[in-house]
Amino acid sequence: MTAAATTPDAVIVRTPAEIKRSRYLGITYLFLAVVVLWFFARWSVDLGNFTFKLARPTDPSAPDLTLSAGRVTLIVGVILAAMGGVQLARGFGKMNNLVLAIGLFLFIFAFLGWATAQSSIGAFSMVGMMKTTIVRSVPITLGALAGVMSERVAVINIAIEGQLLGGAFVAVVVASPLTGGEDPTLILGSPIGGWIGVGAAVFAGMLLAWVLAVLSIRYVVDQIIVGVVITIFVTGMTSFLALRWLADNPELNKGPIFKSIGIPLLSDIPFLGPVLFDHNIFVFGSFILVAFLTFLLFRTRWGLRARAVGEHPKAADTLGVNVYRTRYLNVIIGGAVAGFGGAFFTLGSVGRFDENMTNGRGFIGLAAMIFGRWHPVGAMAAGLVFGFADAMSQTLGILQTGIPSEFLGMVPFIATILVVAGLVGKARPPAADGQPYIKQ
Amino acid sequence: MFSAFKKRGAFLALLFSFALVAAACAEDEPAATSTAAPATTAAAPTTAAPTTAAPTTAAPTTLPPPAPGREVAACQVSDTGGIDDASFNASAWAGAQRAEAELEGVSIAFLESTDAADYRPNIDAFIAEGCDVILTIGFLLANDTAAAAADNPNQLFAIVDQSPGPFPPWADADGNMLSDYANLRGLTFQTDEAAFLAGYMAAGASETGVVGTFGGLPIPPVTIFMDGFVRGVDYYNTVKDASVVALGYDVESGEGQFTNNFDSLDDGRSFAETLVNNGADIVLPVAGPVGLGSAALCQDTGACLIVGVDADWNATAAEFSDVILTSILKNIDISIFNTINNVLVLESLGNPFNGTLANGGVGLAALQDNADRVSSELAQEVADLNDAIVAAGSLAEFLASMADA
Chain A residue with Cα closest to B300? A257
Interface-testing mutation among B278, B283, B286, B299, with chain A (most A C-beta atoms within 10 A): B278
Q: Is B26 on the interface with A (CB under 8 A)?
A: yes
Instruction: Answer whether B192's CB lies under 8 Å from B225's CB.
Output: yes
B360 inside domain: no
How far apart are the C-alpha atoms of A202 and A335, rounded to whole Å?
7
CB nearest to B264's CB, from A248, A352, A359: A359
How far apart are the C-alpha atoms of A255 and A179, rounded to whole Å?
7
- Claim to verify: residue B348 and residue B303 sit in the same structural domain: no
Which residues of chain A are within 8 Å of residue B306 when distances are taken between CB atoms? none
Counting residues of chain A whose pLDDT is more than 70, the rounded percentage is 90
- Claim to verify: residue B228 and residue B116 sit in the same structural domain: no
Chain A residue with Cα closest to B82? A355
Per the structure, the complete domain to which residue A96 belongs is given by: 3-118
- Claim to verify: residue A45 and residue A151 sit in the same structural domain: no
User: Looking at residue A408, what is its pLDDT?
Assistant: 64
- Claim to verify: residue A165 and residue A311 sit in the same structural domain: yes
- Claim to verify: residue A83 and residue A139 sit in the same structural domain: no
pLDDT digits (tens, 9 = 90+) for A236-275: 999 999 988 988 888 899 899 999 999 999 999 999 999 9
- Claim to verify: residue B257 and residue B344 sit in the same structural domain: no
Helix, strand or coil for residue B327? strand
B14 inside domain: no
CA neighbor of A197 nearest in space, from A333, A342, A350, A361: A342
Instruction: Answer whether B339's CB lies under 8 Å from B133's CB.
Output: yes
A421 inside domain: no
User: Nearest CA of chain B to the CA of A421: how many Å?
Assistant: 27
- Claim to verify: residue B53 and residue B168 sit in the same structural domain: yes
Single-letter amino acid code for the residue at B112: E
Return the number of other C-beta atoms located less than 10 Å from residue B252's C-beta: 7
- Of the residues A65, A97, A118, the one at which a domain ends: A118
* Mean pLDDT within A382-397: 89
B173 inside domain: yes
B295 inside domain: yes
Number of domains in chain B: 2
Q: Is B16 on the interface with A (CB under 8 A)?
A: yes
Which residues of chain A are within 8 Å of residue B230 when distances are taken between CB atoms? none
- Claim to verify: residue A97 and residue A135 sit in the same structural domain: no
Contact B22 A247 (CB under 8 A): no
A410 inside domain: no
Q: Model pTM?
A: 0.84
CB nearest to B263's CB, from A129, A136, A359: A359
User: Looking at residue B223, what is its pLDDT?
Assistant: 93
A437 inside domain: no
User: Nearest CA of chain B to the CA of A392: how many Å?
Assistant: 10
B361 inside domain: no
B181 inside domain: yes
Number of domains in chain A: 2
- Claim to verify: residue B125 and residue B243 sit in the same structural domain: no
- Claim to verify: residue B349 and residue B382 sit in the same structural domain: no
CATH number at residue A168: 1.10.3470
- Claim to verify: residue B46 and residue B138 sit in the same structural domain: yes
A433 inside domain: no
For A209, the enclosing helix (H) or strand (E) is helix A192-213
User: Looking at residue A409, what is its pLDDT?
Assistant: 63
Chain A residue with Cα closest to B246? A398
CATH number at residue B85: 3.40.50.2300
* Mean pLDDT within A174-196: 82
DSSP bridge pairs for B324: B306
Interface-testing mutation among A354, A356, A437, with chain B (most B C-beta atoms within 10 A): A354
Chain B residue with Cα closest to A220? B5
- Claim to verify: residue B211 and residue B350 sit in the same structural domain: no
- Claim to verify: residue A70 and residue A140 sit in the same structural domain: no
User: How far is residue B175 from each of residues B97, B186, B399, measured CA to CA in Å?
Assistant: 31, 12, 20
Per the structure, the complete domain to which residue B337 belongs is given by: 32-58+67-189+333-355
- Claim to verify: residue B234 and residue B312 sit in the same structural domain: yes
CB nearest to A239's CB, from B4, B114, B276: B114
User: For helices B220-240 and B191-205, what crossing angle results, to 10°?
Assistant: 40
Q: Provide the H-helix boundaries in A15-95.
A: 16-35, 42-44, 69-89
pLDDT digits (tens, 9 = 90+) for B178-217: 445 678 888 889 999 999 999 999 999 999 999 999 999 8
* Mean pLDDT within B158-180: 54
CA neighbor of B114 nearest in space, from B132, B89, B93: B89
- Phi and psi for B284 in degrees, rounded to 5? -110, 100
* Mean pLDDT within A395-409: 76
Q: Is B4 on the interface with A (CB under 8 A)?
A: yes
Interface-testing mutation among B3, B79, B250, with chain A (most A C-beta atoms within 10 A): B250
Single-letter amino acid code for the residue at B214: F
- Claim to verify: residue B99 and residue B244 sit in the same structural domain: no
Single-letter amino acid code for the residue at B327: S
Helix, strand or coil for residue A124? strand
- Claim to verify: residue A104 and residue A146 sit in the same structural domain: no
User: Nearest CA of chain A to the CA of B142: how many Å?
Assistant: 22
A97 inside domain: yes
Which residues of chain A are within 8 Å of residue B24 when distances are taken between CB atoms? 236
- Claim to verify: residue B292 and residue B339 sit in the same structural domain: no
* Mean pLDDT within A400-410: 70
CB nearest to A236's CB, from B27, B264, B270: B27
Contact A236 B245 (CB under 8 A): no
pLDDT of B374 > 80? The answer is yes
A109 inside domain: yes
Which region holds residue B218: left if phi is over 0, alpha if psi is between -120 and 50, else beta? beta
A254 inside domain: yes
Name which of B6-20, B125-139, B242-256, B289-303 the model is least confident about.
B6-20
- Claim to verify: residue A251 and residue A391 sit in the same structural domain: yes
Contact B41 A247 (CB under 8 A): yes
Return the number of other C-beta atoms located less than 10 Å from residue A435's C-beta: 14
- Of the residues A118, A138, A160, the one at which a domain ends: A118
A430 inside domain: no
pLDDT of B31 > 50? The answer is no
- Claim to verify: residue B108 and residue B246 sit in the same structural domain: no
